[in-house]
Every structure is written in C-alpha cells, then in structure tokens.
Structure 1
C-alpha cells in the first residue's frame, strides 16, 4: 500500500521551556503496520532527509 498525505507537526513548550514535537499519523497506517494498544513498540530511524518508522 502506498499512500501520501500532507500533515503538520505540532510544536509545544513545556513549563521549563524545553520544546517538543508531535505528529498524528492516520490510524489506518498504524493498523497496517500491525501496531495496536498492546503492541506499540516501534523503531524510528533518521536517514538523510527521511524519517522511517518500523514495528519493533
């Protein structure tokens, strides 16, 4: 399955001033990887200009 979506990254600041980010992925993609509430461990890689998310 190949699908492309344009998403936005959220930036938040904690009370101590540190910054963090989040991105919401479509639940259909997460299910396609076999990830659920009981099996939610993933490996995330940064490869040049790509972020790769794989089920652990």
Structure 2
C-alpha cells in the first residue's frame, strides 16, 4: 500500500530542525503498534526507510 505524505519541518528557538511524518493509525494497528505498545524500530537502507514494531521492555 502506498500513500503520499508531506514531511513537516520545525525549527526550534535555538535553530535546530526536527521533522514529523504522520502515519495512518490503521497501518500502525496492522503492525500491532498501539498507545500501550508504541515502541518502533526505524531502519534506513540506501534510499528506503522501514518501520517495524519494537520489543517492549
């Protein structure tokens, strides 16, 4: 499944830049990511970014 999204860029008062990307809640639910189990692993390989459900401590 594909969906085109826009990355939001935010500049802090000290000049640092952070980003945000909204992911559909239904996609996260399919991965078993919930408000209680919200840990994820983000992996970058070449020109792809992948998100996996992480292990809860």
Q: What is the match of residue 28 of structure 1?
A: 26
**Distance between the aligned counterparts of 2:2 and 2:49, measured in 1?**
14
For structure 2, the residue ranges without an aligned partner over 5 or more in a row are none
Q: Report the RMSD for the aligned CA atoms in angstroms.
A: 0.5
TM-score using structure 2 length? 0.91
Among 42, 46, 49, the alignment partner of 1:48 is 46
Corresponding residue SS for 2:19: strand
Q: CA deviation at 1:13?
A: 0.3
User: What displacement does 1:21 show?
Assistant: 0.4
In 2, the alpha carbon distance for the partners of 1:33 and 1:16 equals: 36
**TM-score, reference length from structure 1:** 0.93
After the TM superposition, list the runs of 4 or more consecutive aligned residues in structure 1 that deviate by more than 2 angstroms. Answer: none
SS at match of 2:35: coil
How far residue 43 of structure 1 moved from its aligned partner, in angstroms, is 0.5
